[in-house]
Amino acid sequence: MDALERLQLLSSDMDLEPAEDAHCPRLQEAAGGNARTGKQDRLPVIHEAVMPGGKRIRLLKSLLSSACERNCYYCPFRAGRDFRRETFKPHEMADTFMDLHRAGIAEGLFLSSGVAGGGIRTQDRLLDTAEILRRRGYQGYLHLKLMPGSERDQVLRAMQLADRVSINLEAPNPKRLELLAPGKNFMEELLEPLRWVAEIRRSLPSIEGWKGLWPSMTTQFVVGGAGETDLEIIKTTEYLIRQLHLQRAYFSAFRPIAGTPLENLPREDPLRQLRLYQASFLLRDYNFEFEDLPFDAGGRLPVNHDPKWVYAQANLLHAPVEINRADRVELLRIPGIGPRSADAILRARRSHRLKDLSDLRRLGIVPDRAAPYILLDGKRPAQQLSFWAFS
């Protein structure tokens, strides 16, 4: 079997691991980006990924080994599940990736692994692979996974080699993790490495990181596999964003895998995943507080509506925001206005008052979603007045 066939085996089921924006086309739409993602390229293991700033690259997503000694209940790679496993040595992975890179097939690498011989030894093999690549002059994008149970020095080394590091929390707290991955220790094995990343960033100059910058940090939650509420997930996400400067939480709607203890659990509605993304963006980019999010009494976000729209219906519909006076935080509360549109409004206001919807259109804003919640020069926009006249 050649290296590419082995790679295909290794990378099957990697779509369960949203690591960049390749697997979230609806999310891209929700975030205002382009939805042309998730496309597979010349090999099934190559995914089109959207980098921060919008650049697209062809990303090889692979495990170093699909052998795993852990027993996470939802995971296709769990110990004892019957399927053909494959393992690359660090130099084999580096050789294979460099061949794909030189051929122009893969521009970046996302590298994870099943755990074999403990988290520390597994992390060493991932680090060895990264070291080989960088020694050979590979300057491109590298996302390195941190293994549960890895040590602080290993986390630091990963940060010195990678553009992004991540470890999957999987569940929002120890109680929920127990139902998904009972062998894992939430605080010591999963949360602690994320805390180390934050602490290293704080305490050491960024010049020590790859290309003189520290890598971004992300995590992932499995949604709907442990009876957790949206409130629990978003509460933990808020902590990670505010306290540890998490770049991004990924939410992966649970789907049952044959041969796992959760194979009979129903798959989670992908819309729930979308609402969690939207809520996390409101916290990260829109100055929303946790208390602003529209959870119901059961801790659920509304599934059928964008949480920002639900907030606006409850808070802005009868108290519209004057576009010419609102500060940035107030502007960001308005549906249809994101960080870039808010900045465009603030810039435009320095030279003139914004009097009708066409003024917003000229700033590149599509004002239909904002119209019910705003005043322009003291008046509801014409569109909104006609709505009120007929309602």
Q: How far is CA 268 from CA 192, 221, 248, 252, 253, in A?
A: 28, 13, 21, 9, 5
Which spans in the chain are helix H? 3-11, 25-30, 90-102, 119-135, 152-161, 174-180, 192-203, 230-244, 270-285, 307-315, 328-332, 339-349, 357-362, 382-390
Of 67-75, 202-210, 226-234, 288-296: span binding ligand SF4 (CB under 6 A): 67-75
Kindly tell me which of 185 and 287 has the beta carbon lying closer to ligand SF4. Answer: 185
Kindly tell me which of 115 and 158 has the beta carbon lying closer to ligand SF4. Answer: 115
CA 80 to chain centre: 29
Kindly tell me which of 112 and 324 has the beta carbon lying closer to ligand SF4. Answer: 112
Of 45-53, 71-79, 257-265, 358-366: span binding ligand SF4 (CB under 6 A): 71-79
Asked if residue 77 binds ligand SF4 (CB under 6 A), the reply is yes
Q: How far is the CB of 176 from ligand SF4 (least distance, A)?
A: 15
Q: Quick one: the chain helix, strand, coil %, rounded to 5? A: 45, 15, 45
Select from 10, 111, 155, 181 the one that contacts ligand SF4 (CB under 6 A): 181
Q: How far is the CB of 159 from ligand SF4 (least distance, A)?
A: 21
Asked if residue 72 binds ligand SF4 (CB under 6 A), the reply is yes
CA 334 to chain centre: 23
Residue 348, CB half-sphere, CA atoms under 13 Å: how many? 20
Could you give the angle at which helices 3-11 and 90-102 cross, rounded to 10 degrees? 100
Asked if residue 115 binds ligand SF4 (CB under 6 A), the reply is yes
Of 43-51, 68-76, 238-246, 360-368: span binding ligand SF4 (CB under 6 A): 68-76
167 near 193, Cβ under 8 Å?
yes
How many degrees, rounded to 5, is the angle at CA 156 between CA 223 and CA 173? 25
Of 46-54, 65-73, 306-314, 355-363: span binding ligand SF4 (CB under 6 A): 65-73
Asked if residue 125 binds ligand SF4 (CB under 6 A), the reply is no
64 near 86, Cβ under 8 Å?
no
Kindly tell me which of 78 and 125 has the beta carbon lying closer to ligand SF4. Answer: 78
Asked if residue 321 binds ligand SF4 (CB under 6 A), the reply is no
Cα–Cα distance for residue pair 84/371, rounded to 1 Å: 56
Select from 22, 68, 233, 249 the one that contacts ligand SF4 (CB under 6 A): 68
Asked if residue 75 binds ligand SF4 (CB under 6 A), the reply is yes
Asked if residue 70 binds ligand SF4 (CB under 6 A), the reply is yes
Select from 78, 101, 125, 333 the one that contacts ligand SF4 (CB under 6 A): 78
Of 34-42, 69-77, 134-142, 250-258: span binding ligand SF4 (CB under 6 A): 69-77
Cα–Cα distance for residue pair 229/246, rounded to 1 Å: 21
Of 38-46, 75-83, 303-311, 312-320: span binding ligand SF4 (CB under 6 A): 75-83
Q: How far is the CB of 167 from ligand SF4 (least distance, A)?
A: 10
DSSP 127-196: HHHHHHHHHTT--SEEEEEPPTT--HHHHHHHHHH-SEEE---BSSSHHHHHHH-TT--IIIIIIHHHHH
Residue ranges binding ligand SF4 (CB under 6 A): 68, 70, 72, 75, 77-78, 114-115, 181
